[in-house]
Structure 1
Amino acid sequence: MTGLDERARRLTEELMASHLLPEPNAADLRLQVRELLRGLVIATDMSGRLLPLSVELSDVWLAVLVTPGLPEHLPDPVELVDVRVGAPGGLTDLFVEWVDRYLTTFGPLEPDVVRYWPAARFLAARGVDPTALVSPR
Structure 2
Amino acid sequence: MKQYIFTKAGNGKVIVTLSESYMDIKRSGIMNKVIRAKEYRLIHYKDILELKWKKSMGLLINGSIELVFDRNKKSNDNLDNIIYFATKNEIKMATEIKEFLEKKVSENQNRTADAAIRYFDELKKLKELYDLKIISKEEYEEKKSIYLK
TM-score range for the pair, normalised by the shorter chain length: under 0.3
Structure ranking higher on relative contact order (CA contacts 8 Å, 6+ apart): 1
TM-score with structure 1 setting the length: 0.28
Higher strand share: 2
Higher helix share: 1
